[in-house]
Structure 1
Amino acid sequence: MFMHEPTDSVSWAHPDPDFDHSRIPYPPTLPPPGFSPEYEALSYVWGSPDSPEIALVRNVATMANGRPETIALTGKSFLPLFITRNLAGALRHLRRSDKARTLWIDAICINQEDKGERNHQVLRVTSVYTLAKRVIVWLGPEADSSGLAMSTLQYLGRQIEVSSDTLRFAAPDATEPAWHRTEVSLPYSSAVWAAILALFERAYFDRVWVAQEVILANPEAVVLCGHDESSWHTFSRAIVCLVTKQDVSPDLRRRLERARTLTWAPLDISLFFVLHLMRTRLCSDPRDKVYAALGITPPGFARLIKPNYQLPIAEVYKNAFLAALEHSKRLVLLQDCELQARSVVGLPTWVPDWSVPRQSHLLSAFAFASGMSRSHHKFIAPDTLAVLGRRVATLRHASGAGPETPEEVVSHVRAWEPSGLFTDSYAAGGSLLDAFLSALRVGYVYERFPLGSASHLAEWREFYTNKFRVAVGATDKEEVAHDKESYWTTVFAKYRSFITTDQGHVGLGPTGALPGDIACSILGCNTNIILREAPDGRYSVVGECYIEGLDDAVGILGPLPEGWTKVAGKDSDGYTVHNFKNQSTGVITSEDPRVPPLLPPWRALERERDPGCPAVWACFENTTSGEVIDTDPRMLPDALEQRGVKLETFKLC
């Protein structure tokens, strides 16, 4: 820690690599007697190293007679230190008062050139931000009407509150009691919307380390942008409110969805989503895509990871995948693999390449391909993973490179239309048109997700028929692409291929899928996965897919009985649950009608969710052995095979 003086002094990390940094008691080690443990932690973006500024630093890490004193390395009380311009700007704004403050800043408190020290200190950063008296979020200097954006967001945030299960309601002292409602438009001018968009386009919301820093912060956290200030509590509620509004532009919605992840509690985020979240963010060392996540991942996973910046990136990522597999017994991370988006040499195709941004939108929240099953796997060193599952389809056709922009999606989707679209029936029942339209949204329609923001299939059908498919010219395509009715299609179709199967199904697959590839339901994986057989008999992971009529564990358990449909709901904690509805009686149940009743020695167990557990989760106990699992025992391999379900081993390379 260091004392920030009201002059140009800031913090201290000695430039001499031979200096014994163990003499400096970083948080969360206990401070010496008489030393106040209160400090503030700065969350910021380092910024460009070009044109650095010089700051004077006073170290206060050692103690004498209960008082801070400087380590006299040069015989001076203050040491000069080069810092980035963004950090210098933050510290200048923090000097607005004459009050001296104790600050923790990573660029100064950790010797970034010493990999051994970084290995040691990365694990302690979690406690630094958890124990800080206050986390200070620095968005940068005033620019692009940021003052207007900050004041607007502060007023909006004061109008709503958010419950632990993510429900929004009016704040007790709200002067705009209806603003929390999705359908209520906000009376903002184009200038206000532009200012808000510019604020959320700032580099702060793109960096990897800030996710951990903000999520771990206590309620005293504040947001600074130039001279404007807001509590993080108020700021985050404005984000939650805005992202649900129907009249928010697609560009702003995408930026808000990224910012919204910073508002979640660490225990509410699954391990798999944390690692996916880090992939979407930027950092200078690709290993940080894993190491920066450790503070907000389940402790059981974090204990399996030992930061080591000397390891090759491929080894760090493979170790993280295997640690996640050991901790969770799930293969959800297969869903983050994209064969066409890889840059790390030597990385198996079954390990996501977190060093590069994912091209397509993750489908996990919308899919239920293997039901509530756990993985059954075997790692065969050095790079083979054997998994259990079933092949559900073979690809007959796959379109070329996927569209990149919403406007391109409009053109591609129209070219994807199969023949007989308005006249033919679909292989899995119903009309080909409805199957095609549902596939474009990976099944995200009101009939399947009645508690979400999805529109009815009939509304989407009318919009597609009368507006989407008839749009001509750049202006019409842009208008259609940015309509709220097109939003989910432009999200899911981006960088995806339109696929058909030998059985006549349609769906969305990864860019790079080829005829002859197989779609598989793999135990413990939420989505169907496209695999490609290699000459040695192993399989490469091409990517995840959605095939209309082959989700909802159909590939493993077969179709639902006539009169039954799957509908998603919410549990008491706000998590998505996959229920089943009897259309004749209207009864909705969590019990899958395709599986037999739960029999002894297994019984359902009521207990709170484990921290960071997968979204698809339930608890069962074996009363004979005492074993407790978080997946349905009726989906275990032995139970499936006893009911005639033939499973296959796929060796992934």
Structure 2
Amino acid sequence: MLPKGEKKLIDVNYKKPPADVYKDATLGIVETHHDLSILQECEFQEGLVGPTWVPNWGADTQVDMGAYLGFKTSRLAAILDASQAAERGVMRIVGPGITAIEDLRPSGIDLESADLSAKLRNLFSGIQTEGDYVAEGSFRYPESFRIKRALPPFFSGGTLREAYAAALLRGKVATATEPENYGCSSLDYVASAVQLVCSPSATKNLPLKKESLVDLRMFCARRQLLRGSNGYIGMAPPAARTGHLIYNVSGCDYSLLLWDAGERQFQVVGCCFVSGAMEFQALLGPLPARVEAVFFRANCNCLGFRNRVTRDLTD
């Protein structure tokens, strides 16, 4: 797990049980670099021990928190709570909850799937684009995927297909399943491909460029199409289940899918790509129970935080 150069900086006791070794190594990387991007390498797999641990500090109502708001330029540093730093194994992570998974549709696509165009069309059936945004009443089939209102554009002002394309171009979409010499094509190619797939006039055999098909295969292979609360849609890893929560975690380029493991801890299930959450980076929580975020609804900006008890408002 640790590169050679890191082993001299990060002290890990390899005599501990494997789960504790991964936990200590993960925490050591975060503490050394003040960067949570290591969590993007986590993907939960049944029967395998991996660095999948994140504490649910949102359940702690006795702590005061510093509130931050910002847009990600490249990668934001992790926000760690100094008061808990002395207790090794405890790490406070700041990141807004995006959605909870309500329904999943397996992609049925792997790296060797034939008739990829048709399978992509079937996977995205019911998702229609209208102008620059997703049309109201998408997800006509199956019934559980029906969305009853129009989805908003994602926060940085782009569209669903641009969000998917941006996710592809940031790399590491399919973890270790990339074929040799794989490289994403241009943003325009991928955006056009997603637009074609989602278009109501798309035919069974889509006229996609070879590069775009490769990109979409990598994006969808072994993943599941999700419908979340509040109308969010996206792609989830194989281990995703209904009820799992999706968070934007400070310092990570992708939204992370988390599972509440009890004892105030989350497990990282894997990276998740969600419309409405691809570019925006705001540090809003999960907040202690007595703190609430105050939003400007027109553009989803956070104006500040209010103490539920004293009603004091802070920037």
Tell me how far apart the structure 2 counterparts of residues 343 and 418 of structure 1 sit (CA, whole Å): 34
Residue number in structure 1 paired with 2:128 = 421
Residue number in structure 1 paired with 2:111 = 405
Deviation at 1:523, TM superposition (A): 2.4
Residue number in structure 2 paired with 1:374 = 78
Match of 1:523 among 240, 243, 250: 250
Is the aligned partner of 1:497 residue 2:228? no
Aligned residue for 2:212, secondary structure, equals helix
Tell me how far apart the structure 2 counterparts of residues 419 and 463 of structure 1 sit (CA, whole Å): 13
Identity among equivalent pairs (%): 20
Deviation at 1:411, TM superposition (A): 5.2
Q: 1:458 to 1:496 in 2, by over 3 A?
A: closer
Tell me how far apart the structure 1 counterparts of residues 73 and 241 of structure 2 sit (CA, whole Å): 21
TM, length-normalised to structure 2: 0.59
Ranges in structure 2 where 5+ consecutive residues have no aligned partner: 55-70, 137-149, 170-184, 285-294, 308-315
Equivalent positions of 1:479-498 (< 5 A) are 483-498=210-225
Tell me how far apart the structure 2 counterparts of residues 457 and 396 of structure 1 sit (CA, whole Å): 27
Greater share of residues in helix: 1
**1:205-263 Cα distance to aligned partner (Å, 9 max, x none):** xxxxxxxxxxxxxxxxxxxxxxxxxxxxxxxxxxxxxxxxxxxxxxxxxxxxxxxxxxx
Q: Is contact 1:529–1:541 with CA below 8 Å preserved after alignment?
A: yes
Tell me how far apart the structure 1 counterparts of residues 15 and 271 of structure 2 sit (CA, whole Å): 32
Tell me how far apart the structure 2 counterparts of residues 398 and 428 of structure 1 sit (CA, whole Å): 21
Ranges in structure 1 where 5+ consecutive residues have no aligned partner: 1-288, 352-366, 446-451, 563-593, 595-639, 648-653
Instruction: Tell me the matched-pair count.
Output: 243
Tell me how far apart the structure 2 counterparts of residues 495 and 559 of structure 1 sit (CA, whole Å): 38
Match of 1:509 among 226, 236, 261: 236
Residue number in structure 2 paired with 1:455 = 188
| Larger RCO (CA within 8 A; separation ≥ 6) | 2
Match of 2:304 among 638, 641, 644: 644
**1:461-486 Cα distance to aligned partner (Å, 9 max, x none):** 56545998512xxxx9xx96x81122
Tell me how far apart the structure 2 counterparts of residues 646 and 510 of structure 1 sit (CA, whole Å): 35
Tell me how far apart the structure 1 counterparts of residues 251 and 306 of structure 2 sit (CA, whole Å): 16
Tell me how far apart the structure 2 counterparts of residues 420 and 312 of structure 1 sit (CA, whole Å): 46
Q: Quick one: which amino acid aligns to residue 96 of structure 2?
A: R
Tell me how far apart the structure 2 counterparts of residues 338 and 414 of structure 1 sit (CA, whole Å): 27
Q: 1:540 to 1:520 in 2, by over 3 A?
A: same
**1:114-149 Cα distance to aligned partner (Å, 9 max, x none):** xxxxxxxxxxxxxxxxxxxxxxxxxxxxxxxxxxxx
Equivalent positions of 1:164-175 (< 5 A) are none
Q: 1:499 to 1:389 in 2, by over 3 A?
A: same
TM, length-normalised to structure 1: 0.31
Residue number in structure 2 paired with 1:349 = 52
Q: Is contact 2:128–2:200 with CA below 8 Å preserved after alignment?
A: no
Equivalent positions of 1:24-173 (< 5 A) are none
Q: Is contact 2:80–2:91 with CA below 8 Å preserved after alignment?
A: no
Q: 1:322 to 1:458 in 2, by over 3 A?
A: closer
Q: Is contact 1:395–1:514 with CA below 8 Å preserved after alignment?
A: yes
Q: Quick one: which amino acid aligns to residue 417 of structure 1?
A: F
Deviation at 1:373, TM superposition (A): 4.3
**1:86-109 Cα distance to aligned partner (Å, 9 max, x none):** xxxxxxxxxxxxxxxxxxxxxxxx
Q: Is contact 2:224–2:236 with CA below 8 Å preserved after alignment?
A: yes
Aligned residue for 2:230, secondary structure, equals coil
Higher gyration radius (CA) = 1
Aligned residue for 1:485, secondary structure, equals helix
Deviation at 1:372, TM superposition (A): 2.8
Q: 1:524 to 1:327 in 2, by over 3 A?
A: same
Q: 1:412 to 1:333 in 2, by over 3 A?
A: farther
Q: Quick one: which amino acid aligns to residue 519 of structure 1?
A: I
Q: 1:552 to 1:429 in 2, by over 3 A?
A: closer
Match of 1:322 among 12, 15, 27: 27
Tell me how far apart the structure 2 counterparts of residues 538 and 311 of structure 1 sit (CA, whole Å): 20
